[in-house]
Structure 1
Amino acid sequence: MKPVKILLLCLSLAFLAACSKDDDLGNIEDIPGLGGDTWAKSPLDQWLYDTLTKPYNIAVKYKWDQFEFELGKTLVPPKEEKVIPVMSAIKQVWINTYIAEAGEIFFKQYSPKFFILSGSASWNANGTITLGTAEGGRKVVLYLLNEFRTKNMPGYEPRDSATVKQMFHVIEHEFGHILHQNVMYPQEYRRITAGLYTGNWNNISDYEARRDGFVTAYAMSGYDDDFVEMISIMLTEGRGGFDVIVNSIPPGASINGTSQADAQARLRKKEAMVVDYFKTVWKIDFYSLQSRTRKEIVKLLY
């Protein structure tokens, strides 16, 4: 046993030598994210509190905290000057429209309570980009804030509208998940395009997906995402925009053998089921919500 005791004694002495009480470890209370850091409340913080936290109990975290994101991703913090334009637009397009159609009680009950903001996109190993996520209906993470520009912001160009619409697409998509996780959509929906869902959706274009009766390629990733992609695209593109999508499916068969008529019929059936789900479950006139949402998007971009 002597060699073991000697080894333990040496290790103990080495540890004491390396961690003397006289060593300067720095001010560990100032390490961001460990609870010792403090922030002076700014006008931006007050605006977020008055606009979102006080009326809707929604908190917004824009100060950088890597632990709110996947640790293996390289991301950029959001620019503070982007926070108010982004959250104002979200209130205009998403919060106000749902409250107008369903009331404050509905919105306060089901809306996520925590927004985390990132300046850049989150790239995945398969080459896709994550532009937003939701966790358990409580927290929404939004990416690409630094690219957000509307028509009243310096440097805006028409091509910027795609980035803005994509952000609303993400929010409507994630909120759609929250709704169906509370009350599931009819199982019949899953049979409309059964057998065509695939994990290889990222290698399929929206054009190809629509020829099989999906509104986007991502809708092919699974039943739930198919349902909420319909909600999101129908709201952000408006009724006219959705009609264009359906009517633009070309004649002929897809690579899976789906005819133009069948693809269009599938999308129309999905549309009808989304509209009925909102009316039956949530007492919401979807077409009215759609009209309001699209109108607010147009105000921001055109």
Structure 2
Amino acid sequence: MKHIQLLLLLFAAAWFTSCSKEDDLGPIEDIPGLGGDSWVQGPLDKWLYDTLTAPYNIAVKYKWDQFEFELNKTLVPVKEEKVIPVMDAIKKVWINNYIAEAGLTFFKKYSPKFFILSGSASWNENGTITLGTAEGGRKVVLYLLNDFRTKGMPGYQPSDSVTVKQMFHVIEHEFGHILHQTVMYPQEFKQITTGYYTGNWNNISDYAAHQDGFVTAYAMSGYDDDFVEMISMMLVEGKGGFDAIVNSIPPEGSINGVSQADARARLRKKEAMVVDYFKTVWKIDFYHLQAATRHTIEQLLY
């Protein structure tokens, strides 16, 4: 014990000796990051507070902070002129429609509370792009926002609609995860395409996935993502768009040992389970939510 006390005393002496008055380290608030983020609040910050934080308790971080992202990724900040168009579109398409169908209490209880914005895409080693992530149902990270353009914005082209719909796809997908992690979807859903899930989904086209009874290739990555991909695609593409996916599958014949009539039936069975889940668990008329969501997207893009 005496040896330990001696070492502690020696360490303390060395510390006080090295930190003499001549060695002024400066005030701690001068060390970047330790004092927290601060900048002069401007019109953009006021708009975010008034539009999202005050009514829904949703914060938006657009100032660059590498520690909010994977450190091994090369990314760029979101352009400030993109922030309001992006978040206004999210409010119109996602927030307003869910509140109209399920009420403000529902939305405030289950919605993520923190959005992180990145200007560029997040590329993965396997060649895929991560367009969004969520953590614990509280935080959503959105990428590729510097390419965001809707009707009326400078330089808008119809092809820009793909990027915009991808953003909504991510948000509806992640919110779908929050819902099913709160109340699980029926176990029967997992039995519809058992044996067809794969970790190699990124090597499969969406059309090939349709022929196995999946709404997207990513839906083949697992049960949960299959369920929320159904939610997301049905909402973003609307009933007409989802019907077009189903009808793109040949009504007869077999591909890779899968009857195409069965592939169509699988998607219809998944559709029915999603609709019933929303009605039974959340008291939401999914088809009404679907029509409203698609209508709002079309107003932004066409």
> Fold conserved (TM > 0.5)?
yes
How many angstroms apart in 1 are the aligned matches of 2:18 and 2:299?
A: 64
How many angstroms apart in 1 are the aligned matches of 2:22 and 2:94?
A: 56
Q: Secondary structure at the match of 1:159?
A: helix
Say which is worse superposed, 17-26 or 269-278, in terms of deviation.
17-26
- 1:6 maps to what in 2? none
Return closer, same or farther for 1:216/1:49 CA change in 2, 3 Å cut-off: same
Deviation at 1:57, TM superposition (A): 0.5
Deviation per CA, 1:237-290: give whole Å up to 9, x if none: 0000100000001343222x1111000000000000000000000000000000
How many angstroms apart in 2 are the aligned matches of 1:229 and 1:209?
A: 12
Is 1:107 the counterpart of 2:111 in the alignment?
Answer: no
Q: Secondary structure at the match of 1:60?
A: strand
- 2:35 maps to what in 1? 35
How many angstroms apart in 2 are the aligned matches of 1:91 and 1:219?
A: 26
Say which is worse superposed, 57-66 or 29-38, in terms of deviation.
29-38
**Could you tell me which amino acid in structure 1 is paired with residue 192 of structure 2?**
I
- 2:204 maps to what in 1? 204
How many angstroms apart in 2 are the aligned matches of 1:156 and 1:184?
A: 40
**Could you tell me which amino acid in structure 1 is paired with residue 255 of structure 2?**
S
Superposition pairs of residues 65-80 of structure 1, within 5 angstroms: 65-80=65-80
Q: Which runs of 5+ in 2 are unaligned?
A: 1-13
- 1:293 maps to what in 2? 293
How many angstroms apart in 2 are the aligned matches of 1:163 and 1:36?
A: 33
Query: Are the equivalent residues in 2 in contact too, given 1:211–1:258 (CA < 8 A)?
Result: yes
Deviation per CA, 1:108-161: give whole Å up to 9, x if none: 110001101111111111111111011111111111110100011000011100
Is 1:262 the counterpart of 2:253 in the alignment?
Answer: no
Q: Return the TM-score normalized by structure 1.
A: 0.91
Is 1:121 the counterpart of 2:115 in the alignment?
Answer: no
Aligned length: 291
Superposition pairs of residues 111-260 of structure 1, within 5 angstroms: 111-250=111-250, 251-255=252-256, 257-260=257-260
**Could you tell me which amino acid in structure 1 is paired with residue 88 of structure 2?**
S
How many angstroms apart in 2 are the aligned matches of 1:216 and 1:138?
A: 25
- 2:10 maps to what in 1? none
Deviation at 1:25, TM superposition (A): 6.1
Deviation per CA, 1:157-188: give whole Å up to 9, x if none: 11100000000000000000000000000000
- 1:10 maps to what in 2? none
Q: Secondary structure at the match of 2:158?
A: coil
Say which is worse superposed, 245-254 or 260-269, in terms of deviation.
245-254
Give % identity. Answer: 82
How many angstroms apart in 2 are the aligned matches of 1:30 and 1:74?
A: 27
How many angstroms apart in 2 are the aligned matches of 1:202 and 1:127?
A: 8
Return closer, same or farther for 1:23/1:121 CA change in 2, 3 Å cut-off: farther
Q: Secondary structure at the match of 1:224?
A: helix
How many angstroms apart in 2 are the aligned matches of 1:214 and 1:36?
A: 45
**Could you tell me which amino acid in structure 2 is paired with residue 286 of structure 1?**
F
How many angstroms apart in 2 are the aligned matches of 1:23 and 1:76?
A: 38
**Could you tell me which amino acid in structure 2 is paired with residue 87 of structure 1?**
M
Query: Are the equivalent residues in 2 in contact too, given 1:33–1:65 (CA < 8 A)?
Result: no
Return closer, same or farther for 1:17/1:121 CA change in 2, 3 Å cut-off: farther
Query: Are the equivalent residues in 2 in contact too, given 1:210–1:216 (CA < 8 A)?
Result: yes
- 2:56 maps to what in 1? 56
Q: Return the TM-score normalized by structure 2.
A: 0.91
How many angstroms apart in 2 are the aligned matches of 1:210 and 1:233?
A: 13
Query: Are the equivalent residues in 2 in contact too, given 1:78–1:146 (CA < 8 A)?
Result: yes
Q: Which runs of 5+ in 1 are unaligned?
A: 1-13
Deviation per CA, 1:10-40: give whole Å up to 9, x if none: xxxx999998865676776345433255211
